[in-house]
């Protein structure tokens, strides 16, 4: 059944702090843009927080690049736009606010209203799915600590006849800031990470069961001056037994963000970064009294088996990585002497540790970093 577009939203926005980078003006999708996407090896997204260092330099390509295009929907007759099961009257909407993203053979439907971006549904030759209400993806501005949550039903068909009826809850938040190294070896500072979790619930005669079915966990890394993400990981988890259904990752090579030629707002940001001599506010590097610059990343957290610790040194330094209990008992200690400038990775086997809360300490020269670790 075709449905008129009605905006009665069931989303909540909880503001905890005022500090952010994502906004409609700088990060909303646009008609006419083309984005290059490439599948690469999956890597654990790592921990959340600030001053995080993400090293994607060793990831290998899996498939060839392909393009995502953003266009206007086709006008039916002279007055109607049809986007999935949504019917929109040309007189009641702004043409530039209706966007179709085409990825391979799938079309994703979006609308911009009240300075915010919403998704209506998607379809391809096999599946047609419509959200019972437009799902908020990007408000006018989004800050760290701000949580966007939407609950809705998904209805549609598979192979033209099999009915699909599900309930879903989507939650998004900016959970980390830092710096990233790309497979090309290029380094980007002023990076934030957007975490989106979508949980699907089983439906029986339109009645949602208590136990959720599966969760799709998506992380997207945005760099200052780029409208679209630079990197993305997607992981599908069976919530009934906590098994992983699939995990994959995608790179959006910065050098192929061709829309920047027609994006003066982001080009101005990039120009300011390129011309600046001082460190910007999102840099994860910390300066020590000896002029050394270091950064770190610890993941996964919570950990079940293997814990990875990544850190950087700039200048000659000794380093220690220590894992100990909240009472001070040392479980693991790694000492490295006479390190030179570079990136270092250490792994700690945590499989034999009792479940609980631990502390990990990274000591490099005169700098000490302490983080809390949860052992499953």
Same domain flag for 238 and 319: no
What is the phi/psi pair of residue 63, to 5°?
A: -130, 165
pLDDT of residue 203: 67
Mapped onto helix, strand or coil, the DSSP state of residue 67 is: strand
Residues 203 and 291 in one domain: no
Cα–Cα dist 286/19, whole Å: 20
**Is residue 292 domain-shared with residue 182, that is, in the same domain?**
no
Paired strand residues for 319: 336, 364
Would you state the pLDDT for residue 276?
57
Residue keyed to tokens 């940001």: 269
| Tens place of pLDDT per residue across the chain (376 aa) | 454 444 433 333 332 233 357 999 999 999 999 999 999 999 999 999 999 999 999 999 998 899 999 999 988 888 899 998 889 998 888 888 999 999 999 999 999 998 899 999 999 999 999 998 889 998 888 888 889 998 888 888 887 778 888 889 999 999 999 999 988 777 888 899 999 999 988 766 555 455 688 999 999 999 999 999 999 999 999 998 899 999 999 999 887 888 988 999 988 887 776 555 323 333 334 444 333 334 678 888 888 999 999 887 777 888 889 998 755 678 899 998 888 888 888 999 999 888 777 888 888 876 778 777 888 8
Rounded CA gap, 267 and 185, in Å? 22
- Examine the domain organization and report whether 231 and 309 are in the same domain: no
| CATH number for position 343 | 2.60.40.2550
Look at residue 166 and tell me if it is in a domain. Answer: yes
Model pTM? 0.68
Same domain, 221 and 328: no
Element (H, E) at 273: helix 264-275
- State residue 196's pLDDT score: 96
Please indicate, yes or no, if residue 188 is contained in any of the structural domains: yes
Q: How many domains does the chain have?
A: 2
**Do 256 and 366 belong together in one domain?**
no
| Lookup result for tokens 């963000």 | 257
Residues 222 and 290 in one domain: no
Residues paired with residue 298 on neighbouring β-strands, in sequence order: 309
Do 87 and 16 fall within a single domain?
A: yes
Q: Which domain holds residue 181?
A: 10-275
Residues 146 and 291 in one domain: no
């Amino acid at each position: 059944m075709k449905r008129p577009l009605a905006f009665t939203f069931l989303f909540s926005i909880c503001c905890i702090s005022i500090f952010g980078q994502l906004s409609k003006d700088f990060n909303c999708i646009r008609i006419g843009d083309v984005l290059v996407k490439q599948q690469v090896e999956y890597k654990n997204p790592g921990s959340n927080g600030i001053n995080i260092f993400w090293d994607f330099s060793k990831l290998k390509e899996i498939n060839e690049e392909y393009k995502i295009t953003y266009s206007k929907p086709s006008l039916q007759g002279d007055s109607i736009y049809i986007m999935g099961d949504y019917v929109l009257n040309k007189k009641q909407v702004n043409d530039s606010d209706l966007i179709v993203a085409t990825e391979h053979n799938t079309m994703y439907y979006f609308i911009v209203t009240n300075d915010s971006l919403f998704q209506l549904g998607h379809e391809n030759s096999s599946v047609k799915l419509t959200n019972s209400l437009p799902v908020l993806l990007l408000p006018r501005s989004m800050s760290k600590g701000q949580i966007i949550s939407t609950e809705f039903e998904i209805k549609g068909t598979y192979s033209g006849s099999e009915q699909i009826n599900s309930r879903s809850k989507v939650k998004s938040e900016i959970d980390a800031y830092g710096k990233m190294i790309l497979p090309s070896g290029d380094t980007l500072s002023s990076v934030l990470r957007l975490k989106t979790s979508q949980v699907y619930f089983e439906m029986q005669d339109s009645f949602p069961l208590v136990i959720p079915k599966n969760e799709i966990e998506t992380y997207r890394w945005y760099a200052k001056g780029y409208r679209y993400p630079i990197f993305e990981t997607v992981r599908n988890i069976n919530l009934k037994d906590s098994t992983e259904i699939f995990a994959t990752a995608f790179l959006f090579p910065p050098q192929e963000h061709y829309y920047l030629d027609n994006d003066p707002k982001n080009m101005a940001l990039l120009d300011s970064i390129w011309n600046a001599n001082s460190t910007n506010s999102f840099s994860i590097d910390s300066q020590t009294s000896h002029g050394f610059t270091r950064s770190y990343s610890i993941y996964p957290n919570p950990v079940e088996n293997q814990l990875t610790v990544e850190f950087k040194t700039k200048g000659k330094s000794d380093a220690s990585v220590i894992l100990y209990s909240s009472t001070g008992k040392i479980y693991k200690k790694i000492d490295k002497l006479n390190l030179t400038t570079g990136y270092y990775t250490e792994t700690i086997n945590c499989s034999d540790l009792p479940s609980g809360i631990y502390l990990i300490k990274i000591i490099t020269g005169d700098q000490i970093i302490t983080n809390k670790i949860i052992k499953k």
